[in-house]
Structure 1
Amino acid sequence: MSMKKSVLALTLGTLLTAGVALQNEALAQASFNDYVQTQHKFEHQHMNDVDVLVLLVAENEDGSIALPQMWDADTRAMIANALELEEFTGKQGQQVELLALPNFYAKRLWVVGTGSELARADAEKLGASLAAQLNDKAETVVVHAKGLSDTQIAAMAHGMDLRNYRFDKYKSEPAPRPDYTVHWHGDDGDAAAAAYAQTQPLAHGVFVARDIINLPGSDGYPQAIAELAQEAVSGYDDIKATVYTPEQVKEMGMGALYGVSQGSQHKAYLLVVEYSGGGDEAPIALVGKGNTFDTGGYNLKTSGSSIARMQTDKAGGAAVLGAVMALAGKDAPINVAGVVPLSHNLISGSATLPGDVLIAGDGTRIEVVNTDAEGRLILADGIWYARDKLNARAIADIATLTGSKVGAVGTDYSAVFSDHEDLLAAMKTAGEETGELVWQLPLGPYDGIIDSWLADVQNVGSPGAQAGARFLQHFAKDTPWIHIDMAGNAYGTGANGIHPAGGNGYGVRLLAEWVENYNAAGN
């Protein structure tokens, strides 16, 4: 794997376009190491002064607990007694903390259960849980991980990295970021180090996506996000970034995308990032909703709690950019194109009105029954571009699209829609492997739910999640296509698992894994 320079930057000049006052001067250039101050070392070396020692213990059928033989008999007996009192069995997530053991080389000992099996997603969550506890407790950490595979150790380290991200650019006095070194004592340090290196491009893609999601609407408008993305991929030799201006969007006939932003001073842009790792083959296209702020337009959002976090409506687009960066960073042998339509759904005298008709890039006339169903409008032109201009061999679109999806499957799953079993199978596997779970909802037989008496189609219907999917399917036509509705999955008010508070970069890992799964299956 070749590690490539990558940056995340917004210049003050970009952010002051149209006189917007930026509270934080700029998003500084940021490599992977700028996001995370913690370090991971995988060579086995003896340490005499350890702040926290983590002993990972598997759950055995006979209930026995294996303690390192290098510890003296008195220490092992003391620890065994404490574990027995706590009824510790090694069940996944169980933890017992022991402080200031006599004549012991670590100030704290955490005995942590890994269960009888430790899947990748579970290992990531276990690492994240350790990171949540370590933030202000340690500088030097040793993890005894004998018996774990190199990929399990790498997954735990990856989970720690993901949890340790902070978005503190708007804080006047940011709290210190976690800063400690983790020494992993496993069976094969070189193999674990190589496996961990493969996770770094993926984590970096997540970090960039989180930054984009968290950027407030007045600073993260379409032009700003487009230029940020260009900077983010500028250090990758194999990624080509193209930005279409509002004038070009209009000239190309993408009236659905242009129409959503026409009421804002920040008009629509189209961002296209193409990674070439697979020779001359047609690309797999990822299309992500990049609505940089959503007021609902004239169908105004009236809930304060709903509108307050509408900068997260660009989470699908952020996921697409992060996934392309992740695949490029690990030199995946695939051609992948990311298409991100960028809009700003505001109200003014020139805004699209309910009942207006917009003409999409493929010529479809769309009756806009509800201006708050804007995501599918911009995705329509993004999908058309992927199909018509990029000749994509398959298309996956991802969006915070419908409240109906949340009502149907909640926020533990994304909803997926497709008539193509190979796409669905690869997506379900990707969800299980990454912990970003998906649940298939039916596309049919809902015939007629987006029919319009006025135009060719209308942008709403019932059931709501299916109407959104059927609308997007219209623009994919005969290209293999899958739709991911990630409404409710993009943001959390508090830290949870591998995610800190705020935008979580949901979809980066799911999409990157799906692309590799789908391609590996010979599609």
Structure 2
Amino acid sequence: MKLMRGFVAVVSMMMLPLAASAEYLNTTFTFSNQSANADTRVLLLPEFEGDVAAQGWATSLSADTVHQLNRAIQAQEFTGKAKQQLDIIAPVGLDEVRLVLVGVGQADSLTRTTAEEIGAALSVYLNRVKADSVLVDTRAINSATENARITAAVAHGVDLRNYRFDRFKSEPAARPAQNVHWQVVTNSDAEQQYAAKRALAEGVFLARELTNLPGSDGYPARFAEIARQQLEPLGVEVTILGPEQVKELGMGSLYSVSQGSQHKAHLLVMHWKGSDDQPIAFVGKGNTFDTGGYNLKTAAASILAMQTDKAGGAAVVGAVKALAGERAAINVVGVVPLSQNAISGEATLPGDVVTAGDGTTIEVANTDAEGRLILADGIWYAREFFNPRAIADIATLTGAKVGALGTEYSAIFSNHDDIIETLRVAGENTQELVWQLPLEPYRNVVTSRIADMKNTGSPGAQAGAIFLQHFAGDTPWVHIDMAGNAMIQSGSGIHPEGATGYGVRLLAEWAKIYSAQ
């Protein structure tokens, strides 16, 4: 029986001191072309499936160990399929407690996201067996470029799955904690690629953190301050407009949503000037909690999840952090209109008319269609004050999107083919997939009898998009409706349970692709 190409892990159970590499993780990664510890080993082969015979392991494993591996492979029908694992306890000829085979699939299908999923699956395994010291020997991938790419992506997948939101637990469970040493062909290449991935992961973690915050903890002013504290040390220029400034600028559409709340509207503006090019603008819905206003949400399960209504804004903050952390040569502006949609004697009533920053009058036909009200002024602000090359807004906007596409895709709306195509590629690269829905022939669905526009219409997803398009004016624009993608109830793939940080990877990838055109 031949040894199938795959991912071989030898895991030590010995205890080592832990070092926290960030506030989100307790794991430590190092990269070197030298072995860190002869007693622990994870070996990655470049020949994922095919004609690798047992002697392919002769340089790193004893004949007895290889023989045991071949027998285990045959007995367990291990094929090397991506994320498949074969666990051998107390392997012959080795001092380690465990020897693990992890399949990586076909060489021609080992995409970035497949490698990340392999890393996530490895994370789940390491945490289950409580391993805290791992050495990954990837040198069998002898192409320095491929070695660095694959290693960084697998490590990124481990990071993304290891995040935990535990700040409100009085006695939180121990966070995943491993010391992982990646033995690579050229450590500088792997370190450089992983550093970019780690910057991206930090952006995802921040978006997850902001989305996970309960409504009374993640209110507009606090959301904005958390973003400022995270971004300014990276060189991002952060401006926070308070309620009175929002009113002074005439952004009555944004201001109206928070009229009934003790937490009034804010506008968060973030500028990473990584180049002198015309900027790309992200605008994210930051409704920090949504009761529905006087069109009150009456389903208990629905209203319980409404802290996720700020997930679009969180994605924008995370994407700006990721690009700044990577020192990306891109000029990007992030705008997050922030509100809390609540009820009181001062709250906006159904049927009220408000005036947006560009002077448009809006009939508030439904106070639970508040996301487009705050995004309207966010889009106008980005256009008016930054003259962007393109605007992408992102929001948990409509239940109609979930009905149309479920949670596997985001819906995107635009009349600009270059934006649609580059966003589609970005979605495929990150597996944050997008699907274009039409804007035509729905132009009149937001026409109001008493104002310039109303904030409702049917079909619902198109009505939201057409409403928002008005405020982009002549600027190339795309609307991303990510409703249903913000949170999961149990861990899956690169995501632990809770907020996913959806949109960070999509926006950051899209900005790179679109800016390079």
User: What's the TM-score once normalised by structure 1's chain length?
Assistant: 0.90
Tell me which residue corresponds to 1:451.
Answer: 447
Alignment map for 1:220-299 (pairs within 5 Å) = 220-237=218-235, 239-279=236-276, 281-299=277-295
Q: What is the rounded CA distance, in whole Å, between the counterparts of 2:82 and 2:507 in structure 1?
A: 28
SS at match of 1:202: helix
Q: 1:68 aligns with which of 53, 57, 68?
A: 57
RMSD: 1.7
CA contact (8 A) 2:279 2:388 kept: yes
Whole-Å Cα distance in 1 between the matches of residues 114 and 412 of structure 2? 23
Q: Which amino acid is 2:387 matched to?
A: N
Rounded to whole Å, the distance in 1 between the matches of 2:289 and 2:28 is: 36
Does residue 38 of the first structure (1) align with residue 30 of the second (2)?
Answer: no
Q: Tell me, what secondary structure is at the counterpart of 2:149?
A: helix
CA distance in 2, matches of 1:319, 1:447: 29
Deviations along 1:388-430, one digit per CA (max 9) or x if unpaired, are 1111111000000001111111111111111111111111111
Aligned to 1:132: 124
Equivalence map 1:374-393=2 (5 Å): 374-393=370-389
- Provide the residue aligned with 1:113 in structure 2: 103
Shift of 1:441: 1.1
Q: How far apart, in 2, do the equivalents of 1:298 and 1:93 lie?
A: 49
Distance apart, 1:65 and its partner CA = 6.9
Instruction: Report the secondary structure of 2:117's partner residue.
Output: helix
Find the aligned partners of 1:286 and 1:32 in 2 and give their Cα distance. Answer: 29
Q: 1:47 to 1:272 in 2, by over 3 A?
A: same
Counterpart-to-counterpart distance in 2, 1:472 and 1:394: 14
> 1:62 offset after TM fit, Å?
5.2
CA distance in 2, matches of 1:56, 1:36: 28
Rounded to whole Å, the distance in 1 between the matches of 2:121 and 2:161 is 8
Deviation at 1:112, TM superposition (A): 1.0
Q: Structure 2 CA distance, aligned partners of 1:119 and 1:173?
A: 39
Alignment match, 1:326: 322
Report runs of 4+ in structure 1 exceeding 4 Å deviation.
54-58, 61-67
- Give the AA of the match of 1:154: A
C-alpha distance in structure 2 between counterparts of 1:151 and 1:349, whole Å: 57
1:178 to 165, 176, 179: 176
Name which of structure 1's ranges 101-110 and 359-368 shifts more when overlaid on structure 2: 101-110
Q: Is the 8 A contact 1:58 1:114 kept in 2?
A: no
Matched AA of 1:266: H
**Contact 1:221–1:344 (CA under 8 A) maintained in structure 2:** yes
Match of 2:136 in 1: 143
Choose which of 350, 354, 365 in structure 2 pairs with 1:354. Answer: 350
Tell me which residue corresponds to 1:219: 217
Q: Quote the Cα distance in structure 2 between the aligned partners of 1:37 and 1:224.
A: 25
- Cα pair 1:271 1:342 within 8 Å, conserved: yes
1:152-167 matches, cutoff 5 A: 152-167=150-165
Residues 263 and 350 in structure 1, CA contact (< 8 A), matched pair in contact too: yes
Shift of 1:58: 4.4
CA apart distance, 1:335? 1.1
Q: In structure 2, give the amino acid aligned to 1:144.
A: D
* Distance in 2, Cα, partners of 1:103 & 1:62: 24
Q: Which residue of 1 aligns with 2:71?
A: 81
Q: Distance in 2 between matches of 1:291 and 1:334?
A: 27
Please name the residue that 1:421 is paired with: 417
User: In structure 2, what is the Cα distance between the partners aligned to 1:155 and 1:205?
Assistant: 16
5+ long unaligned stretches in structure 2: 1-19
1:282 Cα deviation after fit: 2.3
Give the CA deviation at 1:183. 2.0
2:454 paired with 1:461: no
**Counterpart of 1:196?**
194
Identity %: 57
- For residues 162-203 of structure 1, the C-alpha deviation after alignment (integer angstroms, 9 at most, x for no partner) is 111111110001111122111223333331122111112111
Equivalent residues, number: 488
> Given residue 473 of structure 1, which amino acid in structure 2 is its aligned partner?
Q
Q: Report if the CA contact (8 A) 1:405-1:465 is conserved.
A: yes
CA distance in 1 between counterparts of 2:54 and 2:245 reads: 66
CA contact (8 A) 1:56 1:111 kept: no
Matched-pair contact (CA < 8 Å) for 2:162–2:176: yes
Confirm or deny that 1:410 pairs with 2:406. Answer: yes
Alpha-carbon separation, structure 2, partners of 1:104 and 1:211:
42
8 Å CA contact retained: 2:284, 2:315: yes
